[in-house]
Structure 1
Amino acid sequence: MLIRKKGEDMIHLITELSKYVMIILFAIYTWYSYVVLAVRNEERQKRMYKTQTTCMFLIHLDAFMVLFAVTKELKVLIFYGAQVLFVLFLFLIYRIVYKKAARLVINHMCMLMLIGFIILTRLNFDNAVRQFEIAVAAAVVSAFVPMLVRKLKFLRKFTWFYCAVGVVALGIVLVMGKMSGGAHLSFTVAGVTLQPSEFVKIIFVFFVACMLYEATDFRQVCITTIAAAVHVGILVLSTDLGAALIFFLTYVVMLYVATRKPSYFFGGLGVGCLAALVGSKLFSHVRVRIEAWKDPFASIHGGGWQVAQALFAIGTGGWFGLGLYQGMPDKIPLGASDFVFASISEEMGGAFAVCIVLVCFSCFLMFLNIAMQIKDQFYKLIALGLGCVYGVQVFLNVGGVIKFIPSTGLTLPLVSYGGSSILCTIVMFAIIQGLYIMRQDEEGELNEQKNRGRKQKKNDRTKKNSSRKPKNKSGQTGYRGHESGSERNGTSSQFNEEIEEIW
């Protein structure tokens, strides 16, 4: 009994120390996520990225040491090793095949996935393995996506094909989808459960980008709006209001950026507010969520149970958390999917959870930065649309968990349990990488044109200076043993131009 007590005390001590180590390492990682954006020196940037990578692997190692110390199961160590190999595989692809890829986006994607694997292993090992298998499959498939985005220039020609696929996929869910949480979300084929709205998010962005790239006149805007309304309408009929909100807000932002007309933006927000009011009157489960949002403890044994348990977990964990296996995240309804943020907050700490939000926001900023710097309007709108899809989903998930807004039943990308969610998010990140590489190619071509222009200008000046040089009787320039003044000036001018070009 005494030995057992000492063993439990040792595990508790390890858990207590590990949670502080993870918070410190994650804080350093998050700090560099923003500092690196202001650094222009490539060598210094590389050092910061290496520091981020080191923090990432140390956090992962620290967490799985605790998981193994508590469970004492060899399969946990094997699972840890498989995850390390998986992350190294991703780094290898983007460093060898796609040398111009955005290193910060790669780091963030891997960091969020590893956090998801940690908390899922803590909650349910089998679910964590399932999530890992889907992530590996998604990484293999998405390895070709940046190249396809970069090479296939005819993606903008499938406008109505994108629309048709999206409408049909959402329609299948409306007809065949099984009910979950008051909404038709997914259907099962050959034992595989699919949630088409996750895939249609990407297709929808491509459709809107194609339409607004072709023209932005009133007629084109009306046609695009009707098609977008069909997508949103099917989701509303399926009572998948969280996804409908993502589609709607993404379309409003893309429309405003493409047309530069504030009337479209504010008009769209007004229509959205009116639709939300109507939805709260029509759908009973929406009214339940609104009541739970207003006062979850008043209906704690009804619709407020999820939010109340999430708030209890966040409050119990405090800023530094209870430590892995020291809390009760398994008591949170949907603690591995919709409310995974609360599970993380309870055991890994509120500070750790805030860092997750900051990392997600850094991803969103990177997406917008890529969108702003791409010259091609079609690809600019795609980057903007995907950024909005990602940012809105993170906001709706975290906001619903902390009772900032009513719960919408959405997952936290790359962290929550959900095969369709992690698959589509990895593909989304791969598309963003392809767009980033395309932007790097544009910058390379522009710099090459500038260099050619400078060389041409230098050659023209050299020829002009040489044509002014005096010639002696033998036809040679200058005098034997002496350098003419024009030659000295030409040489000096050429030297100055070369120094200027080097700088």
Structure 2
Amino acid sequence: MDSIKEEKRLLRVTYLFCIISFFNIFLIKTPFDNVALIIGGIICILMGYSNFIVRRFFPDGDKYILIFACILSNIGMVMIYRLKPADAIKQIIFFVVGIVIFILIVVILPELKKYVKFRYIFLVLTLVFISMPTLLGAADVNGSQNWVHFGGFSFQPSEFAKLFLIAYLASAFSKYKNFKQLIEPAFIVMVSLGFMVLQKDLGSALIFFAISVTMLYICTGKFKYVLICLLLFSAGAFISYKLFGHVRLRVMIWQDPWPYKTNQSYQVVQSMYSIAWGGLFGTGLGLGYPGFVPINDSDFIFASISEEMGVLMGFAIMILYFLLFYRCMRAALFAEDKFSRLLAVGYSAMIGAQVLVIVGGVTNMIPLTGITLPLVSYGGTSMIITFMALGILQKISEGGR
């Protein structure tokens, strides 16, 4: 009963944040923006209804997973509407689709341990999606060739590849007994990273590696395997640095962005200016200048939020991600089998690694990578894939029921 009260209290705070934020946008525009109020109301209804469905029909699982996901999505949609109202409408549609997929996974999927036998189906799907940009991808976007276009529809195949790679590794590692059984998954991970190098997708390569190493360590418990992986990855990173000017440019900007602030490092420098200008408490929603930051509703949305809502909001977002990561990892404790446990670890690592990589990039703590902030950044593929992963994690937290 106390847990239910805490969940309801957290949801009420989320509704309040949503209403105040969109009411603020309503006031600052001339004439008043009535659409902002409508969108704020729609988001509150969607969050409330989805949490009611999960709580009403699936009371046994961890409901904080969905609540934290809704809070982060709420923050993102508020900022996207402030920056680009048309994109916010699309983001709400992506949010609805994500929520529907989340609920369907919890409702329809049978016990997850039954999927351990589909190891090679997961393998084929991983290779299909990971190779798709190399074979069918469009011209380089911001240095990377990681988008595929079909007519007016475009998506990032690497996002789907992450889901299937984790499922494949969970299936392969669940049978682990000796070193020989690690050779095949190691080869598949190397092939996946090879495609990432060909596509010049530094961010995805780093995330794929982090996921694989985390699952390997949880499976084997042997740090020497992790050390070997780190050495091999370092060698691969050095070779990539020598082969690709794009990688060398990212490293050069990371080392010292200021001499190139008007051209190559313009994005990073503007991002750091934006965060610094906001200070602790921000300039106020709608009162900053995030328009100076390129790609401010996707790759650099963390800088936009920090400018207008303050560094404290940036810290709050990081804490929310930590809490979401904790609840997702906690779901592994409820897993009835090794396959489900490894799935929980893999999807949790996917979300955690992506947050660290993109926040590190926009603050110049690590070389910049062109990936999105899960649930917060604008982007349909990322939103849907994240909710799919969270739906599986919710199913695991239900104890497989």
State TM-score, norm by structure 2: 0.96
Deviations 1:447-479 (A, max 9, x none): xxxxxxxxxxxxxxxxxxxxxxxxxxxxxxxxx
Partner of 2:28: 70
Q: Which of the numbers 192, 197, 200 marks the counterpart of 1:231?
A: 192
Q: Percent identity?
A: 31
In structure 1, C-alpha distance between the alignment counterparts of 2:149 and 2:46, rounded to whole Å: 28
Does the 8 Å contact 2:172/2:185 carry over to 1?
yes
Q: Would you say 1:84 and 2:44 are equivalent positions?
A: yes
Which consecutive residues of structure 1, in runs of 5 or more, have no partner in the other structure? 1-42, 442-503
Q: Which of the numbers 53, 69, 74 marks the counterpart of 1:93?
A: 53
Residue-pair matches, total: 398
Q: Which of the numbers 14, 22, 33 marks the counterpart of 1:56?
A: 14
Q: Would you say 1:192 and 2:153 are equivalent positions?
A: yes
Q: Which of the numbers 165, 168, 172 marks the counterpart of 1:204?
A: 165
The alpha-carbon deviation at position 73 of structure 1 amounts to 2.1
Does the 8 Å contact 2:189/2:212 carry over to 1?
yes
Q: Would you say 1:143 and 2:103 are equivalent positions?
A: yes
Which consecutive residues of structure 2, in runs of 5 or more, have no partner in the other structure? none
Deviations 1:370-400 (A, max 9, x none): 2245341111100001111110000001111
Give the partner amino acid of 2:364: K
In structure 2, C-alpha distance between the alignment counterparts of 1:152 and 1:209, rounded to whole Å: 11
In structure 2, C-alpha distance between the alignment counterparts of 1:152 and 1:63, rounded to whole Å: 39
In structure 1, C-alpha distance between the alignment counterparts of 2:112 and 2:361, rounded to whole Å: 39
In structure 2, C-alpha distance between the alignment counterparts of 1:333 and 1:137, rounded to whole Å: 27
Counting only pairs closer than 5 Å after superposition, residues 218-257 of structure 1 correspond to structure 2 as: 218-257=179-218
Partner of 2:148: helix, strand, or coil? Answer: strand
Does the 8 Å contact 1:216/1:258 carry over to 2?
no
In structure 1, C-alpha distance between the alignment counterparts of 2:146 and 2:46, rounded to whole Å: 30
Does the 8 Å contact 2:303/2:362 carry over to 1?
yes
In structure 2, C-alpha distance between the alignment counterparts of 1:338 and 1:196, rounded to whole Å: 17
Deviations 1:202-245 (A, max 9, x none): 11100001111123322210111011211111111111121111
Deviations 1:414-448 (A, max 9, x none): 00011100010111111110000016x6xxxxxxx
Q: Would you say 1:393 and 2:351 are equivalent positions?
A: no
Higher RCO, Cα 8 Å, sep 6+: 2
Counting only pairs closer than 5 Å after superposition, residues 449-468 of structure 1 correspond to structure 2 as: none
The alpha-carbon deviation at position 158 of structure 1 amounts to 0.9
Partner of 1:167: helix, strand, or coil? Answer: helix
The alpha-carbon deviation at position 85 of structure 1 amounts to 1.7
Partner of 1:466: none
**Runs of 4+ displaced beyond 4 Å:** none
The alpha-carbon deviation at position 172 of structure 1 amounts to 1.7
The alpha-carbon deviation at position 337 of structure 1 amounts to 0.6
In structure 1, C-alpha distance between the alignment counterparts of 2:7 and 2:102, rounded to whole Å: 22
Partner of 2:5: 47
In structure 2, C-alpha distance between the alignment counterparts of 1:148 and 1:382, rounded to whole Å: 18
Q: Which of the numbers 332, 340, 344 marks the counterpart of 1:371?
A: 332
In structure 2, C-alpha distance between the alignment counterparts of 1:152 and 1:399, rounded to whole Å: 34
State TM-score, norm by structure 1: 0.77
Partner of 1:261: 222
Q: Which of the numbers 436, 448, 454 marks the counterpart of 2:397?
A: 436
In structure 2, C-alpha distance between the alignment counterparts of 1:153 and 1:47, rounded to whole Å: 33
Partner of 1:342: 303
CA gap of 1:65–1:184, structure 2 versus 1, over 3 A, is same
Partner of 2:262: helix, strand, or coil? Answer: coil
Partner of 1:183: 144
CA gap of 1:148–1:230, structure 2 versus 1, over 3 A, is farther
Deviations 1:321-373 (A, max 9, x none): 00011111111011111110000000001001100001101111122222245
In structure 1, C-alpha distance between the alignment counterparts of 2:48 and 2:217, rounded to whole Å: 40
In structure 2, C-alpha distance between the alignment counterparts of 1:152 and 1:292, rounded to whole Å: 44
Partner of 1:419: 380
In structure 2, C-alpha distance between the alignment counterparts of 1:362 and 1:401, rounded to whole Å: 22
In structure 2, C-alpha distance between the alignment counterparts of 1:260 and 1:73, rounded to whole Å: 56
Give the partner amino acid of 1:139: I
Give the partner amino acid of 2:282: G
Does the 8 Å contact 1:150/1:435 carry over to 2?
no
Does the 8 Å contact 1:150/1:437 carry over to 2?
no
Partner of 1:272: 233
Deviations 1:232-286 (A, max 9, x none): 1111111112111111111111112111221101111121222222222221111
